[in-house]
Amino acid sequence: MKHFLKIFLISAVTATALPAAANAATGPATQALSACLVRSASADDQVTLVRWAFAIMARHPKVADMSAISASQYISINKAGGDLFTRLLTTDCTTETRTALQSDGEAAIQASFTALGQKALQGLLGDANVQSAIGDMLQYVDQRKLLGALTGLGG
């Protein structure tokens, strides 16, 4: 049950962190761009993407108190993110980007970066420290109630 809950929580984190609307543009050209981005982004690139996403989400007033990103760090993270975005779309995946934009419009970029973001987030969620932190929340989950709700056996 504990393993199931970890998988469930990881899925919930992934679904929460990435916009579902981006999955609307999933034509063949967008799928090809997504595949190119995932293939072209190294593990370090994926960390850059997650760091950028974390930095921008940390700007939200409801979570800003949980992060202490300095102005210089924010600029550095944005520069790295901008450089990555530029390289992936204009060097590594130029043809796929052009084709996807022509076929599916701007939604292709969002959908493709959502696919890359999911891959990057999976990499971070697989880290032992993150797994342990996910497990920390399990002590507050009413496992009997959850199992009952999922199986219909009461709880």
pLDDT at 40 over 90: yes
The pTM assigned to this predicted structure is 0.77
pLDDT tens digits for 82-131? Answer: 999 999 999 999 999 999 999 999 999 999 999 999 999 998 888 999 98
DSSP code string of 29-45: HHHHHHHHHHHH--HHH
- Closest C-alpha among 48, 141, 137 to residue 87: 48
